[in-house]
C-alpha cells in the first residue's frame, strides 16, 4: 500500500498564483525522483456540520485559502529515498532561498501509512 506525505496550510488569496507556480515546479521535481502522485488542492466546500471545518482547524483568516496537499509513494522507504534526492535538487534549493508565499510556521505535515487502499 502507498505511503503518503500530507500537508495542510493556508495561502493568502493574493498569493495563490505565486503558490501555484511553486507547487507546479515542486511537483515536477518530486515526480522525476519517483513520487507516484503529487496533488495540491484548494478548499472549495469547507463547511461541515459533522466535524471541525478546515478553516477553523487551520486558523484561516477571511483573506486566506486552505490548501490540502499530498504526495504518494510506493512505500515509506521509497519516500525517504525520494525526499533525500529532492532536498539536494538545485531547483528546490533555489526555491527555498526565496520567501514563500505562505507562512511555513502555520503548515502541518506528516507521513501516513495506508490502512485502507482502494483505487478505481
Q: In the structure, what pLDDT confidence band is assigned to residue 49 with cuts at 50, 70 and 90?
A: confident
Q: Is residue 118 part of a domain?
A: no
> Residue 39: which CATH number?
3.30.70.100
Domain tally, the chain: 1
For residues 83 and 49, the model is more confident at 83
Let me know if residue 119 belongs to a domain.
no
Q: Is the pLDDT of residue 37 over 90?
A: yes
In a domain, 20, yes or no: yes
Give the three cell numbers for residue 103. Answer: 507562512
In 3D space, the residue among 83, 80, 68, 70 whose CA is nearest the CA of residue 32 turns out to be: 83
pLDDT of 36 reads 97
The domain containing residue 26 runs over which residues? 3-113
Check pLDDT > 90 for residue 48: no
Is position 28 within any domain? yes
For residue 2, which of 95, 70, 104 has the smallest C-alpha distance? Answer: 70
> Is 120 contained in some domain?
no
Q: With bands split at pLDDT 50, 70 and 90, how would you rate the model's confidence at 45?
A: very high
Whole-number pLDDT of residue 67: 98
Amino acid at each position: 500500500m502507498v505511503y503518503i506525505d500530507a500537508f495542510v496550510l493556508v495561502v493568502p488569496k493574493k498569493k495563490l498564483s505565486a503558490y501555484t507556480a511553486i507547487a507546479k515546479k515542486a511537483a515536477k521535481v518530486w515526480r522525476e525522483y519517483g513520487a507516484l502522485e503529487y496533488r495540491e488542492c484548494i478548499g472549495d466546500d469547507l463547511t461541515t456540520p459533522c466535524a471541525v471545518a478546515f478553516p477553523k482547524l487551520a486558523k484561516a483568516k477571511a483573506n486566506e485559502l486552505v490548501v490540502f496537499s499530498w504526495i504518494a509513494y510506493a512505500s515509506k522507504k521509497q519516500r525517504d529515498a525520494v525526499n533525500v534526492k529532492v532536498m539536494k535538487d538545485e531547483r528546490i534549493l533555489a526555491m527555498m532561498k526565496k520567501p514563500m508565499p505562505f507562512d511555513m510556521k502555520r503548515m502541518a505535515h506528516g507521513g501516513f501509512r495506508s490502512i485502507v487502499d482502494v483505487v478505481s
